[in-house]
Structure 1
Amino acid sequence: MKFNEKTLTLARESRGYTQKQLSEKSGVAQGTISKIELGQLSAPEYLIELFGKSLNYPIDFFTQDPYFYVRGHYRSKQSISDKASKMYLAKMTIVERIFTTLQTAVELPEPNVPSWDIDVDGGNPAMAALFVRDKWKIPKGRINNLTELLEDNGILVMLLDLGEKDGFSTYSDIKYPVIFLNNRRTSDRLRFTLAHELGHLVLHWGKKDHGRDEEQEAHEFASELLMPSQDIRPYLNKLNSSTLTDLKRYWKTSMASIARKAKDLGTITQDQYYYMMKGFSANGYRSFGEPELFEPEKPTILSDIVELYLTDLNYTKQELASLLHLSMDDLEELLFNKPRLFQVSRN
């Protein structure tokens, strides 16, 4: 059996385990695990089987070609631990590899991600957002379905439990743009995060870091993409709780982002904005999310590919799990959005 030590690290981190925790669960000395992961010690077959049982991965998961962890941009509400960060990166790496494996049977839209380099093209993130709207021939006003728009332009959108992270953007091994979104977020936050991560792909991917605040730039890009200043300005007069609710339902963005847009455009004062934010906090909107006023958008590329395997190619779920080197628990969680039965460590 050809064992790839990198997959042990990937499997362990995807479950949120440290080497010590895997040692306690498997009964294998931590020093042995460390040496195996570093390639200093080969793993006999009985240990591979033990690791598979402890981590709920089939044995052939550990015989795959080397993995390269996804790299890209995060959007997160708050900082998280290094162990949690590794767990989400590992899970996204596995899902990205799933896509890379499955896409061989289909013809996907050619990636069409416009590029805007502020250091070369000048301007600002808002101008870049308008540039994208022009390139993609987006009509004036709101974007009805942002997820569908990105998928039509060859950007894969995936929903995954990312804990405290809102989103993550990267490119796959086959140079396909991928955006991960946290499936536990509200519909308005999902849309804004999707626009935010698109901003990273347009503004920052493959470009030199010049020390600017990339998160703020992506935020400004998202605001202008979803709410073009010229189009939304007439709607922002005489804002109150009632009009904010109506505007959220129409523009499909949060009331907080609409209020911020109004402040930036000067249609409300700083004091008015402050009291609106204070009201949002009092209602728990800033801590627990705003009321859901529209249905969340659902990505379709990966689900359509999976459906093709199950119907046109006559795969069973068990055969699909075998192809992807996954347990049935992981297959159901990652591809069919069902809660997993196998618990991960979050300590």
Structure 2
Amino acid sequence: MHDARRALTPQAVSDAFDPTRLTQARHLAALTKKEVAERIGVSPAAVGQYEAGMTRPRPDLIPPLAAVLAVPMAFFLPGRPHGKLDGSMAHFRSLRSTRAYQRAKAVAFVEQVWELAHALEKRVRLPAVDLPGFAGGEVHSALPGDPAGAARGLRAHWGLGTGPISHLVRHMEARGIVVAFPRHDPDAVTVDAFSTSSMPRPIVVLTPNRFDDIYRHRFTAAHELGHLVLHGDTAAGDSQQEREADAFAAEFLTPRDSIVPHLPLRADLRRLAELREVWGVSVDSLLYRCRETGLLSDSAAGRAYQRLKTLREQPGFTNEPVSGYPGEQPVLLARAFDLATAEADLTAATLADELAWPITRVRELIGLTHQRPQLKLVP
């Protein structure tokens, strides 16, 4: 296969050109049709015709097109599994602040995450998907329809009991949900987290803008889990869905019947800081719990939030980075790759060739570090 890729000619790519791969590569590069057209010396209408499958790029355009989009020429060939995702079925945590090109890039990212998982799954048996009602890209949940009921139902289904949940991301991966980090992508800061259950495996993407605080990170993961459970069969973009996902996350992480006996009867922020460490949720979230359960009035909660702002730099109230919590960092794809390397002699180069990706892309999505030897000079 590797030799065949090297022997590939622009004419062969032009003859078999897959227009959907051009769209995917353009979205991943966050470029408009006009920008691509300007860089390869054609009109925007021509690029539109290439993506619509009306015409194919001339052979002499294939190398510059691949260079502009930072993909091998083989990327434009058909015949590989393509995880096509309707963007309307991806739930974005901050939809209103996310621009169209960023959403398109995020959707293309999810497609590639699935393609990587699929390639690994041909060699390694990944955990079976264990979401009630999920079947190959569709969810017809048997859980209660209200967010709190669904959260309690999923806890029971996963055997998590009614107490604090440690290692939430690891629990999700153990149930067959693919969790990914776009580690080096400036657009990810704006996109925030997003998820979809419209692929053969549910996928959750947790983005870097919440890595500085483990408590926000965990709540975001639970929020996206709520989307998978509650909104798998509905188009995304409804603010009501976001509120429901928040309600799911609150009940999933801090079940009302379990947390209320531990909440203070007044706005005791030190006590809430102690509970933060036990339940793995922010003091802000616990204050909200106090207010919604009637332990605090709106005015008392408002004053508590104001006091909380003055305590942000004090012990017990500062942010704690995700890097200190291995159980909240995804490892499914990396461990699958390691197992395939040991059992099936898989290499990153082989995988990159099979997917027709740059090897740097494979390493990024798996989470591999650059493996160049370090030069050490001894004086």
TM-score range, shorter chain: 0.7 to 0.9
Q: 1:70-113 CA deviation, whole Å, 9 max, x = no partner?
A: 53322127522111211111122122211122211111222111
Q: Which has the larger radius of gyration?
A: 2
Gap change, CA 1:115 and 1:312, over 3 Å in 2: closer
Q: Could you tell me which residue of structure 1 aligns to residue 203 of structure 2? A: 178
Count, aligned residues: 334
Q: Aligned-residue CA RMSD in angstroms?
A: 2.9
User: Which residue number corresponds to residue 5 of structure 1?
Assistant: 19
Q: C-alpha distance in 2, partners of 1:91/1:212? A: 24
1:140 deviation in Å? 2.3
Native 8 Å contact 1:96 1:172 kept in 2: no
The answer for the alignment partner of 2:177 in structure 1 is 155
SS in 1 for 2:93: strand
Question: Structure 1 CA distance, aligned partners of 2:176 and 2:37?
Answer: 42
Counterpart for residue 321 of structure 1: 352
Equivalent residue number for residue 85 of structure 2: 69
CA drift at 1:144: 0.9
Percentage of identical aligned residues: 28
Q: 1:216 aligns with which of 209, 221, 243?
A: 243
Match of 1:112 in 2: 130
Find the aligned partners of 2:113 and 2:287 in 1 and give their Cα distance. 36
Task: Give yes or no for the alignment of 1:199 onto 2:226.
Answer: yes
Give the distance between the partners of 1:338 and 1:208, measured in 2 at CA: 37
User: Does residue 105 of structure 2 align to residue 87 of structure 1?
Assistant: yes
Whether contact under 8 Å (2:189, 2:207) holds in the other structure is yes
- Alpha-carbon distance between aligned partners in 1 of 2:299 and 2:368, rounded to the nearest angstrom: 43
Matched residue, 1:345: none
Aligned equivalents of 2:308 and 2:31: distance in 1?
A: 37
Q: Which residue of structure 2 aligns with residue 169 of structure 1?
A: 195
C-alpha displacement of 1:276: 2.9
- Asked whether the equivalents of residues 214 and 319 of structure 2 are also in contact (C-alpha less than 8 Å), the reply is no
Give the whole-Å Cα distance in 2 for the aligned partners of 1:245 and 1:147: 22
1:227 is matched with which residue: 246, 251, 254?
254
Query: d(CA) in 1 for partners of 2:301 and 2:140?
Result: 29
Q: Which moved more, 1:181-190 or 1:227-236?
A: 181-190
CA contact (8 A) 1:118 1:124 kept: no
Asked if the contact 2:133/2:140 (under 8 Å) is kept, the reply is no
More deviation in 11-20 or 321-330?
321-330
Q: Which runs of 5+ in 1 are unaligned?
A: 340-347
**TM-score for both structures, normalised by structure 2:** 0.79
Offset at residue 320 of structure 1 (A): 2.1
Counterparts of 1:219 and 1:51 in 2: how far apart (Å)?
43
115-124 or 200-209, which moves further after superposition?
A: 115-124
Given residue 180 of structure 2, which amino acid in structure 1 is its aligned partner? M
| Partner residue of 1:35 out of 39, 49, 52 | 49
Residue 49 of structure 1 aligns with which residue?
63
Task: Judge which range, 1-10 or 155-164, deviates more.
Answer: 155-164
Deviation track 1:188-208 (CA, whole Å, cap 9, x = no partner) reads: 222111111111121221269
Unpaired runs of 5+ residues, structure 2, are 1-11, 371-379
Question: For 2:77 and 2:174, how far apart are their aligned partners in 1?
Answer: 35
Q: For residues 271 and 33 of structure 1, what CA distance do their matches in structure 2 show? A: 57
AA of the residue aligned to 1:136: W
The letter of the residue matching 1:21 is E
2: CA distance, partners of 1:317 / 1:214: 39
SS in 2 for 1:50: helix
- Residue identity opposite 1:291 in structure 2: N
